Structure 1
Amino acid sequence: MPNHLKPAVEVSDRFHVQPLLRTVTVNQSAYVLALAQNSVRLVGVSSDLPAVELNLDGMPKDVASSARKTSIKDRSPSGRLQGSEGMKVHQVQYARKIDQALRVLLVGKETPLILAAAEPMQSIYRELQSYPHLARTAIQHNPETQSDAELASNARSILDELFRDELAEIHSLYALRTSQSRTTSDLVQAARAATYGAIQLLLIDIDDVTPGTVDDDGAVTFADGPSAKSYGLVDEIASRALVTGAKVMGVRKSDIPGEAKLAAILRYPF
């Protein structure tokens, strides 16, 4: 597992999925596009495996080959260098071909794409690329001087930043929805809301195991302690919310508003 988990033993008539939810609901993988005028490579990054370079059909090698030239310093028919305007055209063509090659891999995905590039290629690529999940923050150092492992290390820092930004947006939305009576951090209310499909977004503490049961109508019965007849209430609430199409994120207690066991944003007052 890529996350640190507390030791736990669960005996019940259902799987205890709560500790796994951070792995599958919080981005811990990414693609890094290491882009320079003379080279380009795509590196796959995960939280617990070595970085690996990915080969894509149609990916150009550099600006010159993309422009079908032996060198970007080729002279024009008149014998003069093409100049900065001609160079910009070749760079744009190069970036566009890269974007086209990436579409086959990235279509339908939400995995963050992190750019490692210096100027002017960074700005050129950002202006014309089509993938909606390109990270705002880029790896600024020259990608040609960085190994795949170094790119992966820098990418993980950006993934942490993306997670913090997402949490900040969720906290702001939670505050707004609280003023509209569309939030709860109460286990009893959250269980009923999950049962009837009223939860839109749910943050859960992946380490909490409050024993009890939830009946078919969403009513909660707390248990005096863990047993084979009970299970984790937060785990059960998360499972019911997932079944009804809610977005569920497994986080740490410190990431939840009020450091509660869970925090739910509701689709409507409930």
Structure 2
Amino acid sequence: MNVDMLTREDLKILMDVSGRCISLFMPSEPGGRQAQSDRIAFKDLLKSAALFMRMEGRAGADIEAALAPAHRLVRANLFWSHQGRGLAVFIADDFFRAWRLPLPVETMVSVNERFHVKPLLPLFRPGGKYFVLCISARHTRFLSGSAYGLHELDVNTIPRGIQDILKNKVFEQQLRYHAGTSGRMHGGSAVFHGQGTGSDDEWKDELLEYFRKIDDGLRPFLASEKSPLILAGVNYLVSIYRNAATYRHIADDSINGNPDQATAEQLHERAQAILLPHYSKSMQDAADRYMHLSGSGSFLAQERLDDVVSAALQGRIDVLFAAENVQYWGVVDAVSGKVSVHKKEQPGDSDLLDFACLHTLANGGSVYVTSPENIPGRKPMAAILRY
């Protein structure tokens, strides 16, 4: 499965684009197993987008120019041969982005003043996204994961192994590696020994330097992240890496064992066993916190649609619950924060739930997109305010 990393910074970029914004979503088959079918489905989405634009009065030449980057994507054979479980494409004047997603999404075409991003939000719910860092002396791997799978990221800023740090030293003489697991992840042990003139303390210093280089290389990727990072490796190395790391969201539990031969599927299974109990507890704790505030009459618990949307614009939301597959249309005045809710979509409207989710994430809040019956108070949205 091939997917693309989507960050909070990407969401901010999407949020800043305005004008005629085209958002396209469709499910796809991982690995390009149905490449031709996926390509045809995407062409159908482009036909629907063109129809919407014609209904708005756009000229044929304007429509053709706006959709030209997407039509070029149709002809990109390699792209369709390497798909995830879903595809999201965003088009505006001088703007084109496509993300292969780890989760399936419903087919949708949106032509509006702003991009429609709600189908992406499950990737950003607390626990909806995480990273795995596989560390051994021989290999380094960095993977991005969700409930839907785990995929390796190509990060050229981190060393591939400690041999990149040792440089002129003879690596095989420096390292003797005994793995009781024979490369399999069943919790076995591994022992590292310094050889030649190097002492164990010197070897530990070299490992510390190696792990600091990894931490430095990952910093640009993790700068805007709050997602948990799970370490995979033998306990000895995991302990040293924790001392070297600056990322603040490393999970307490780790995937123990030699990760060199572990598949993404094996790592995903182990990671989910670590994270799922924390995910469920996190959402329940947030719901309990909301109900306590609401029950005591605190203004920090809000459920009125216009109040929640206005608070999101002002960056005041700490936790937001939003109903999935639900849309409420309206207009938000960016200066006054006044929200006008409409019974039906009108020209210039935004999906207000989408708007609130996006602004909450952009301002560092947590968002739970869930079924309406799981939202405290059973409203379309519920929020815990910071102030």
Question: Is the TM value for this pair above 0.5?
Answer: yes
* Rounded Cα–Cα distance in structure 1 between residues aligned with 2:374 and 2:299: 21
**How far does the alpha carbon of each residue in 1:83-122 deviate from its partner, in whole angstroms, 9 at most, with x for none?**
xxx64x3563244123211122222523543211233333
The aligned runs of 1:112-261 (5 Å cut-off) are 112-155=228-271, 157-158=273-274, 160=276, 163-164=279-280, 166-168=282-284, 170-171=286-287, 173-175=289-291, 177-178=293-294, 179=296, 180-214=298-332, 217-223=337-343, 225-226=344-345, 231-239=350-358, 241=360, 245=363, 247=365, 249=367, 251-253=369-371, 256-261=375-380
* Rounded Cα–Cα distance in structure 1 between residues aligned with 2:214 and 2:300: 40
How many correspondences in the alignment? 255
Query: Per-residue deviation at 1:255?
Result: 5.6
**Partner amino acid for 2:134?**
L
**Partner amino acid for 2:384?**
I
Relative to 1, partners in 2 of residues 1:198 and 1:128: Cα closer, same or farther, differing over 3 Å?
closer
Query: Per-residue deviation at 1:142?
Result: 3.1
C-alpha RMSD over aligned residues: 4.1
User: Is it true that 1:19 corresponds to 2:119 in the alignment?
Assistant: yes
Contact 1:58–1:97 at 8 Å: present in 2 too?
Answer: no
Relative to 1, partners in 2 of residues 1:231 and 1:140: Cα closer, same or farther, differing over 3 Å?
same
* Rounded Cα–Cα distance in structure 2 between residues aligned with 1:174 and 1:18: 22
Q: Tell me the equivalent position of 2:215.
A: 103
Query: Per-residue deviation at 1:28?
Result: 2.6
* Rounded Cα–Cα distance in structure 1 between residues aligned with 2:313 and 2:234: 50
**How far does the alpha carbon of each residue in 1:233-265 deviate from its partner, in whole angstroms, 9 at most, with x for none?**
32243456567x362525223664345322212
The SS at the match of 1:120 is helix
Query: Per-residue deviation at 1:210?
Result: 2.9
Relative to 1, partners in 2 of residues 1:255 and 1:120: Cα closer, same or farther, differing over 3 Å?
farther
**Partner amino acid for 1:263?**
A
Contact 2:330–2:339 at 8 Å: present in 1 too?
Answer: no
Contact 1:182–1:265 at 8 Å: present in 2 too?
Answer: yes
Relative to 1, partners in 2 of residues 1:201 and 1:95: Cα closer, same or farther, differing over 3 Å?
same
The SS at the match of 1:207 is coil
Relative to 1, partners in 2 of residues 1:94 and 1:221: Cα closer, same or farther, differing over 3 Å?
same
**Partner amino acid for 1:39?**
R
User: Is it true that 1:2 corresponds to 2:102 in the alignment?
Assistant: yes
Q: Tell me the equivalent position of 2:152.
A: 51
TM-score between the two structures when normalised by the length of structure 1: 0.69
Q: Tell me the equivalent position of 1:39.
A: 138
Relative to 1, partners in 2 of residues 1:113 and 1:217: Cα closer, same or farther, differing over 3 Å?
closer
**How far does the alpha carbon of each residue in 1:8-57 deviate from its partner, in whole angstroms, 9 at most, with x for none?**
5556443323223333555535142233xx53422323456742565634
Contact 2:215–2:244 at 8 Å: present in 1 too?
Answer: no
Relative to 1, partners in 2 of residues 1:98 and 1:263: Cα closer, same or farther, differing over 3 Å?
farther
* Rounded Cα–Cα distance in structure 2 between residues aligned with 1:25 and 1:40: 31
Q: Which runs of no fewer than 5 residues in structure 2 stay unpaired?
A: 1-100, 177-192
Relative to 1, partners in 2 of residues 1:173 and 1:160: Cα closer, same or farther, differing over 3 Å?
same
Q: Which runs of no fewer than 5 residues in structure 1 stay unpaired?
A: 77-81
* Rounded Cα–Cα distance in structure 2 between residues aligned with 1:73 and 1:100: 19
* Rounded Cα–Cα distance in structure 2 between residues aligned with 1:154 and 1:258: 35
**How far does the alpha carbon of each residue in 1:55-76 deviate from its partner, in whole angstroms, 9 at most, with x for none?**
6348414999789736526478
**Partner amino acid for 2:341?**
T
* Rounded Cα–Cα distance in structure 2 between residues aligned with 1:142 and 1:70: 15
Relative to 1, partners in 2 of residues 1:100 and 1:252: Cα closer, same or farther, differing over 3 Å?
same
Contact 1:201–1:246 at 8 Å: present in 2 too?
Answer: no
Contact 2:208–2:240 at 8 Å: present in 1 too?
Answer: no
User: Is it true that 1:69 corresponds to 2:174 in the alignment?
Assistant: yes
Q: Tell me the equivalent position of 1:30.
A: 131
More relative contact order in 1 or in 2 (CA 8 Å, sep 6+)? 1
Percent identical among aligned pairs is: 23
* Rounded Cα–Cα distance in structure 1 between residues aligned with 2:347 and 2:302: 28
* Rounded Cα–Cα distance in structure 2 between residues aligned with 1:133 and 1:195: 26
* Rounded Cα–Cα distance in structure 1 between residues aligned with 2:235 and 2:359: 48
* Rounded Cα–Cα distance in structure 2 between residues aligned with 1:119 and 1:196: 44
TM-score between the two structures when normalised by the length of structure 2: 0.52
* Rounded Cα–Cα distance in structure 2 between residues aligned with 1:145 and 1:15: 41
